[in-house]
Structure 1
Amino acid sequence: MRKFENCVLLTRVGSFYELYFDNAEEYGPLLNLKVSKKKTNKGPVSMAGFPFFQLDRFLKILVQDLNKYVAISEEFANDAVKKVKSGGLLFDRKVTRIITPGTLIDENFMDPWENNYVLSIHLEDAASRDRRNPEEQTTENDAESLAETGPTEVGLAWLDLSSGDFFTQATDFPSLSSAIARIGPREIVVDSSLESIEHSPLMSLLKQDHHILTYHKTAGHAISIESWTPMLEDPVSKNYASAFTPGEITAGSFLLDYIRTRLQGSTTKLQPPVRYQNTEYMTIDKNTLRGLEVRATLRDGNYQGSLLHAIRKTVTKSGTRLLTQRLTTPSMSLSVINSRLDLVSELLGHTALRQDVVVLLRRTYDTLRLVQKFAFGKGDADDLLGLASTVQVTQDLATVLKNHTESPRREVNLEGDVSLRSAQSTCVQDILRRLNFEGPVELFHRISEAIDEDGLSEQHRIQESEAAVMAGIAGEVLQEEADDEEIWNVPKRLRPKEAGSPNSNRTDTEFREVWIMKRSASLTLQSLHVELEKIQQEKTELAEELREQHDAPSLTLRWTPGLSYHCHVKGKDVKSANLGPSARSVSSSRSTKSFHLPEWTSLGARLDNVKMRIRAEEQRVFGELRAQVVRNLVKLRRNAAVLDELDVACSFATLAHEKSLVRPLLNSGTSHMIVRGRHPVVETSLTEQGRTFTANDCFVGEGERILLLTGPNMAGKSTYLRQNALISILAQTGSFVPAEYAEIGLVDKIFSRVGFADNLYQDQSTFMVEMLETAEILKQATPRSFVIMDEVGRGTTPEDGIAVGYACLHHLYHVNRCRTLFATHFHALADLTEGFEKLGCYCTDVSEEAGDSFSYVYRLRRGVNRRSHALKVARLAGLPDEAIAVAGRMLAEFEHTKGPVGENPIRYAESVTSANTAVA
């Protein structure tokens, strides 16, 4: 990584962080910090600083908001020899981690509802495919050759460090953009040799979509699956390893090498890699994900208004992440889909069971991210309690499910289908069989016996108090600093070690030592606490003895950072106290006096020793608990996966109950039979407005492969297209669907061509973007695909648009032979396709009433509607009446001159042009 280029260095200095960067103009205003210049051996750099407890706040700004890389340098106590050699410095400093947008682990600003993926891409052409020497790296000439000839294989590997998820995929270059859109990485890593290549197809693609890009040069690690093992919870089996392609292996090795450099020696345990295979999932390309608004809205990219927002009823963070994954990768396996639907049916048919499961799921923690923290050697006592609580809740959940399977079966209202009820009863048993409590339950008991929750709560209270003190100190520093002072130079009088601790001036009677472990956590702790109590009893007896001996009722035994263990008297006892020859005064005033006594100094040393040993034993026990979590890593993750599946199933069941959804019937055919289907997002919006959604049927496939839709603007054609695509996605995701009946043949790919968009970055007009998207559909759609196309050809002249629209219909009908919904305002297309036996024409309409009033008829009917009623929409939009009148005269002229509609579309276009000229 080049010094300070897109990178910030944070160096810990006591209670503050020094911040070094290269661009004061960019960073200063955003960070709201005072910035100054400092000379280094690398040249002048900008500097600022902030208190250590604000680290998360500034990491969020730098990493999440500004997409910068942050190298964190921490302090480490050095040994005596190093201390002498370093001129008396107490600490060494070294970079412990490099944080990038895609390598977040447990930062507080992470989005818990979404995965945080970092993606590696490896391109390989035919000439270099057989090159497998681990020491031979990709050269610049190789990259240039690849840029010219184009790749024949693309290997992908991506992972989420926060949860341990690890995936690979082999694809081709035309499908790469859609694969990236489906994954949604926060950061993409490519070989550093590609950085200097101009006009690279890969670089053009990545820059076009504005991805965060990192160039990385490998450290020479072997390119093999065996090299992954140190970073995995379990090694990849030989049988499974043989399925990975060379591109996947190279991408995976490259990605793990990149992770090693970012973690700076820290260890982790990822889940075994899962191969994403195109044949196992429905393919939803980039444009379709965006056009159907699966994860975000098309116009402004908001979550609200998306399909995910409309259907999400999950109650856990990891369950929401699983729901998102399933929506973007619907299954192609009938057995998988039906097993998911069986579980949804069971939960829908038994309301009490669903409610009990949801209540328990709400009490769980994000296990996948918690155990990953322990895999990194992190994780605190709160995380242990979260894991223990989740294990206990999972046990309770298993009991609820077991009681349900053993109770007499009630009839479920599913048309009396006995085989279906049988399948539903076994799906819960399958869930129970997958839960493993052998190790986790032991871990739960060990954590419950060891962690003192009351002590932990008290520790948090003290930490919050100390943070408040530090915030006050930081405020004073900011107020008092002179123009030439640096923000990180804290005045000595304000240093926390002398005045910052809220406990620094408390007496032993005022302050109780906080322990986070119960005494029963170990035999050693028990004996140490007994010893501590004896010393504390001795201290109480000593205090009473000293009060009598020195005739000082106000005498107390204290400890402060500056005076260590000392005796303190106040008031009239200051003058009357008989200190004796062994007392040594260390501080005095008119009203107080402090002095050292050998008895209290000796007892205090013993007290310190015992407390130190207790803390050491607590750390040892805590280390054992961490190790026990790591030993149960696999079981905890698998149990967490079961909870996520239950959460998604409960979400779908709740949604089906609230929205009156039905179970779809999936088969291996190539037809849709949807009765009274509804758009899941639009219906929700209309319901909130007190309006009713107009349902429509969709019978497309064997009888009619293409439905050609015409009708007025705003009469529901686009909604109809989208709703049937979304119903297909929901069905293969494992959800019930918004319809009265749905029988769907498996869809391998969904394509959509909807909406206006240009791409000025690539110098592409709206029509060019439309044609590029249409080209991909015509090249990739198969007989099992489902295509929706809205207004193809509208970005050019009428005659060209009609020609392009007809060509698309012709290709989809004769070549792709796939299920297609095609909406258009080019009514001539209905006449041009009269010979297509398996093409049906349908339309929506407008009901005109007295005066200028009208209403839309959203119900689909067979036939062609040759009026678009665009002027009605223009009037609703607020066009001036004068403009509406001119448009009306033009439209009347067009209708007068065009002759029979559809007789000759080209002649019609020419007549429109002539009429336009005459009016002008």
Structure 2
Amino acid sequence: MGKTKETPLMKQYNSIKARYPDAMLLFRVGDFYETFGEDAIKASKILGIVLTKRANGQATHTELAGFPHHSLDVYLPKLVRSGLRVAICDQLEDPSMAKGIVKRGVTELVTPGVTFNDKVLEAKSNNFLLSVHQEKNLYGMALLDISTGEFLVAEGDEHKLHHLIDNFKPTEIIHQRNRPLPFAHQAYAFQLDDWAFQYDYAYDKLTTHFKTKSLKGFGMDQMKAAIIAAGAVFAYLVEDTHHKLLDHISNIQRLPQETFVWMDDFTIKNLELIGTSDPQSVSLLKILDRTHTNMGGRMLRRWLLTPLKEINIINRRLDVVDFFLKFPEITYSISEELKGISDVERLLGKLAGERISPKELGYLKDSLVNYLQIEKILKDENHKTLKNFGEFKDLKEVVLLLQTQLHDELPVALSKGNVIKEGISEDLDKLRELKNHGKEYLENLCLRESEKTGIPSLKIDFNNVFGYYLEVRNTHKNKVPSDWIRKQTLVNAERYITEELKEYETQILGAEEKISILESELFKNLCQKIKNNLIDIQHNTSLIATIDTLLSFAEAAQDNSYTHPQITDTKTIDIIEGRHPVIEKQIPLGESYVANSVYLDDQKQQILMITGPNMAGKSALLRQTALIVLMAQIGSFVPAKNASIGIVDKIFTRVGASDNLSKGESTFMVEMNETASILNNISDRSLILLDEIGRGTSTYDGVSIAWAIAEYLHEHPSHPKTLFATHYHELNEMTTSFLRIKNFNVSIKELDGTIVFLRKLIPGGSEHSFGIHVAKLAGMPTVLTQRAEQILKTLENNSSKEEFKERTKTLTDENMQLSFFQLDDPVLENIREELLKTDINTLTPIEALMKLNHIKKMLGG
């Protein structure tokens, strides 16, 4: 078979496609974007468009699928959301002026993590691209939301990388070729060549972009891995995706661990801060989010994932919330202004990238007007705490410029015209006069020619073949002057042109083209003037987002009766009549949420051992304690009568688990992995929530593991504050041997063989789980529950409680407590033996020093 001959169009397509093998190529042909081959097959499935075939000779064909170019904003989001990179190939010249095949080229590469398209982006969520650079066990990380310009960097180990991905949910990750990420993730991943991950290249890119000689001002001069990751972001944007207009990326923010509360991914999921596993459930974000702007919504989401440890900043936030609650008139006025503010962060991204439409520039103008109103309201009040977040930059001239030059009613596309106001350009005004009064001129011309020739029914019209023309009915064609030129004969009339008509046509058609060119230039000049103030607008936008978020806290506090928490530097958590912020909103009408008090410290009441039946509310109590602490440390009021919160630096939860069968991990294995992560990372300001530890294995195994974990936490030098919910009533015995473990139970009341859940936390341990009663409530057959009660009595009679107490006492004598920390360390075991055989009473001071030196050597000192 002979080789199939390529058409010029397909040759051009194939040469462009070869440069973007990993992307779907949308190839502009006339009024359509076409896809070919494998791209066409994918596009037809994802978009639901018709797949056709084009013959390539006698025996071959090419698949073909396309859609109208004006439908790009409809179809592009579907392609990107499906995880595709999309290369948009446009016609780079007017087809009517082209000699041969039209010149084409890729004008933009849209990827899941690099897009400005509003229909791809979620309004109140960031769309982050994550760049990762690995150097041995250290990872450099850079997060960019190109739509808003937010640029974040961090360094850390694999655990920190995992934590960052779980928190910020990047939609796309770029990394060095042949260095894949060490764990599975949900984001689209793309590999870059080694050249994009070079330190000198990265440092030069960053300093050039930010117009600085050093990165010390960003606090990252020594963060080599993070600098390389950030440089790779610019390599990807400029070289790969053709995004070179990036002025809105005006700052880099470090994400230092010492600033924020540490929460692992288990905790974020278990506390349901952002999302829920059950579609019927509600997240904390849903409860707190009363923001009126998308910027405020994104800020609130970020704050929830990064609670603060800095008391001064937390108290500044709380003071502003308090201010908004005390002055409802001011709160209402600011709320009304916030409602009229568009997504300025993303508008500025489009402005910087020269993608903003006249309509969108009008939205920016209206938003900045509202900025000025909010600034005036706050300045009139002159509240000191509001100033702590920064002064507004003066944008009055920017607003005046936009108001002066832009029409009040603006088109979506610049080509529609009527963007720039009259009085801005004399040339533009003259051209518009010519165009807009053309109808009047033509009417006068028609009337004048009719009077001069005596043709009563003369009319002027226009078509695309020969432009403006005079139409004369056949009954009057003998009156047509000799200098008129006949252009078309119809059944009942004839059409003519005149020199005056052609000259006017030239003027009016030229005016439309000149208006378009001139208005486009004026619009671009206006955009550039606004861009010159971009950093100041971004500064004010950050202030507006902060105000919106704190106002949201105030509205949530007002609606839900939250109170001002006291933030202290102690290690005490004292919550009086606390409530679960989500559950209290979901209880049936007529019922009230049962509030509970929780007190924890590191001296007297470090671990609360909480027992009680299923459904009594143990898990809710654990979660509500963590949520109240977290809400306080983001600057929100809390659902409690009173709350004094000693700053927490880490929140860990082991609440609920699901099998991870795809990795071969059972519920118990998941539970042990999560618990091990907690025990290996605790600090003296940690808050730990443990729910039913050890339940995934046999009873004796479970009790043993739960006991050992509680003992470990009690004896750990940092004394981490812990809520330990359990069904193992044997653990109640721990309070007799461990001073800082206290027993509590979630109370119930028995009535005629049934139980009523009181959901109140009271001192003392519970001796029964009431599982059979819960089974009755669930509707188990009566014969089954009766048999279960018989079996339970038999088992309880065969188990002596006094014997168990005696056995647990031997677990907690001094030698066993010491050996608990030696079981897997032979060096410590040898030191123990050495100390036990030493008679301290007979040692001289010199011998004691020599013995101490000997022990030091045993430790390798």
| Post-superposition offset of 1:719 | 0.3
1:777 to 678, 692, 699: 678
| Equivalent in 54, 57, 72 of residue 74 of structure 2 | 57
Which has the higher Rg, Structure 1 or Structure 2?
2
Kindly provide the amino acid, as one letter, of the partner of residue 520 in structure 1: G
Aligned residue number for residue 823 of structure 1: 725
Alignment of 1:620-635 (within 5 A): 620-635=521-536
Q: Which residue of 54, 65, 71 maps to 1:48?
A: 65
What's the secondary structure of 1:888's corresponding residue? helix
- Name which of structure 1's ranges 890-899 and 732-741 shifts more when overlaid on structure 2: 890-899
Question: Structure 1 22/452 Cα, relative in aligned 2: closer, same or farther at 3 Å?
Answer: same
Structure 1 residues 689, 235: closer, same or farther in 2, change over 3 A? farther
Tell me the CA shift for residue 386 of structure 1: 1.1
Measure the CA separation in 1 of the matches of 2:506 and 2:598: 84
Instruction: For 1:737-748, list aligned pairs within 5 A.
Output: 737-748=638-649
Report whether the alignment pairs 1:19 with 2:35. Answer: yes
Aligned residue number for residue 390 of structure 1: 367
Q: After superposition, where does 1:632-671 map in structure 2 within 5 Å? A: 632-671=533-572
The alpha-carbon distance between structure 1 residues 573 and 861, as it changes in their structure 2 partners (threshold 3 A), is farther
Residue aligned with 2:724, SS: strand
Match of 1:755 in 2: 656
Distance 1:234 1:721, change over 3 A: farther
| Comparing 624-633 and 884-893, the one that deviates more | 884-893
Change (3 A) 1:178 1:2: farther
Alpha-carbon deviation of 1:897?
1.8
Residue 829 of structure 2: aligned partner: none
> Residues 550 and 194 (structure 1 numbering): CA distance in 2 closer, same or farther, change over 3 Å?
farther
Q: Which residue does the alignment assign to 1:352?
A: 329
Identify if the C-alpha distance between structure 1 residues 274 and 905 changes in structure 2 by more than 3 Å, giving closer, same or farther. farther
Matched, 1:696 2:596: yes
The answer to whether 1:814 aligns with 2:703 is: no
Equivalent residues in 2 for 1:589-738, closer than 5 Å: 589-591=490-492, 593-686=494-587, 689-702=589-602, 703-738=604-639
Equivalent-residue separation in structure 1 for 2:193 and 2:88 (angstroms): 21
What displacement does 1:185 show?
Answer: 0.9
Partner of 1:845: 747
- Counterpart CA distance in 1 for 2:774 and 2:486 is 93
Q: Which amino acid aligns with 1:278?
A: Q
Given that 1:154 and 1:170 are in contact with CA atoms closer than 8 Å, whether structure 2 keeps it comes out as yes
In structure 2, distance between residues paired with 1:218 and 1:45 = 36
Instruction: Provide the C-alpha distance between the structure 1 equivalents of 2:672 and 2:56, rounded to a whole number of angstroms.
Output: 54
**Secondary structure in structure 1 of the residue aligned to 2:147:** coil
Aligned residues: 785
The equivalent residue for 1:174 is 159
Quickly say closer, same or farther: Cα 1:720–1:265, change in 2 above 3 A: closer
Aligned counterpart, 2:828: none
Q: Percent of aligned positions with the same letter in both sequences?
A: 27
User: How far apart are residue 831 of structure 1 and its match?
Assistant: 1.4
Which residue of 1 is the match for residue 230 of structure 2? 252
1:375 aligns with 2:375: no
Equivalent position SS for 1:704: coil
- Which residue identity is paired with 2:124? W
* Residue in structure 1 matching 2:398, options 443, 452, 457: 443
Distance 1:561 1:327, change over 3 A: same
The structure-2 alpha-carbon separation of the partners of 1:642 and 1:574, relative to structure 1 and needing over 3 Å to count, comes to: farther
CA deviation after TM superposition for structure 1 residue 537, in Å: 5.2
SS in structure 1 at match of 2:273: coil
The answer to whether the aligner puts 1:108 opposite 2:119 as a matched pair is: yes
Could you tell me which residue of structure 1 aligns to residue 108 of structure 2?
A: 97
Partners of 1:360 and 1:616 in 2: CA distance: 36
Larger mean CA deviation between 640-649 and 560-569 belongs to 560-569
Say which structure, 1 or 2, has more relative contact order (CA 8 Å, 6+ apart). 1
Distance (whole Å) between structure 2 residues aligned to residue 719 and residue 660 of structure 1: 19
RMSD: 2.7
Would the aligned equivalents of 1:244 and 1:275 in 2 still touch at CA under 8 Å?
Answer: no
1:225 aligns with 2:127: no
- 1:800 corresponding residue in structure 2: 701
- Say if 1:371 and 1:21 are closer, same or farther in 2 by CA, change over 3 A: farther
The CA distance in 2 between the partners of 1:521 and 1:323, in whole Å, is: 42
Equivalent in the alignment of 1:307: 284
Q: What is the aligned partner in structure 2 of residue 517 from structure 1? A: 420
Question: How far 1:800 moved relative to its partner?
Answer: 0.9
The alpha-carbon deviation at position 533 of structure 1 amounts to 6.1
Q: Secondary structure at the match of 1:256?
A: helix
1:426 paired residue number: 384
- Kindly indicate whether the alpha-carbon contact (under 8 Å) linking 2:41 and 2:51 is maintained by their aligned counterparts in 1: no
Aligned to 2:44: 28
Query: 1:409 is matched with which residue?
Result: none
Separation of aligned partners in 1, 2:293 and 2:282:
21
Tell me, which stretches of 5 or more residues in structure 1 are unaligned?
126-150, 196-201, 406-424, 464-512, 908-920
SS at match of 2:108: strand
Cα distance in 2 between the residues matched to 1:235 and 1:182: 32
Residue matched to 2:149: 164
The question of whether the paired residues in 1 share the 8 Å contact of 2:220 and 2:254 is answered with: no
- Aligned residue for 1:694, secondary structure, equals coil
Deviation at 1:712, TM superposition (A): 0.7
State how far apart, in whole Å, the 2-side matches of 1:807 and 1:562 are.
Answer: 92
Cα distance in 2, alignment partners of residues 874 and 233 from structure 1: 69
- Structural mapping, 1:522-537, within 5 Å: 522-530=425-433, 532=435
* Residues 14/619 of structure 1: CA separation in 2 closer, same or farther (3 Å cut): same
The amino acid that maps onto 2:596 is: N
Residues 552 and 573, structure 1, Cα contact 8 Å, conserved in 2: no
Q: Tell me by how many angstroms 1:70 deviates.
A: 0.9
Q: Secondary structure at the match of 2:423?
A: helix
**Contact kept? 1:4, 1:22, Cα under 8 Å:** no
Q: Which amino acid aligns with 1:561?
A: N
Report the secondary structure of 1:224's partner residue.
helix
- Give the deviation of 1:523 after TM superposition: 3.1
Change (3 A) 1:783 1:243: farther
Measure the CA separation in 1 of the matches of 2:591 and 2:105. 63
Structure 1 pair 241–728 and aligned structure 2 pair: CA distance change class (3 A):
closer
- 3-state SS, counterpart of residue 453 of structure 1: coil
State the Cα distance separating 1:886 from its structure 2 match.
3.1
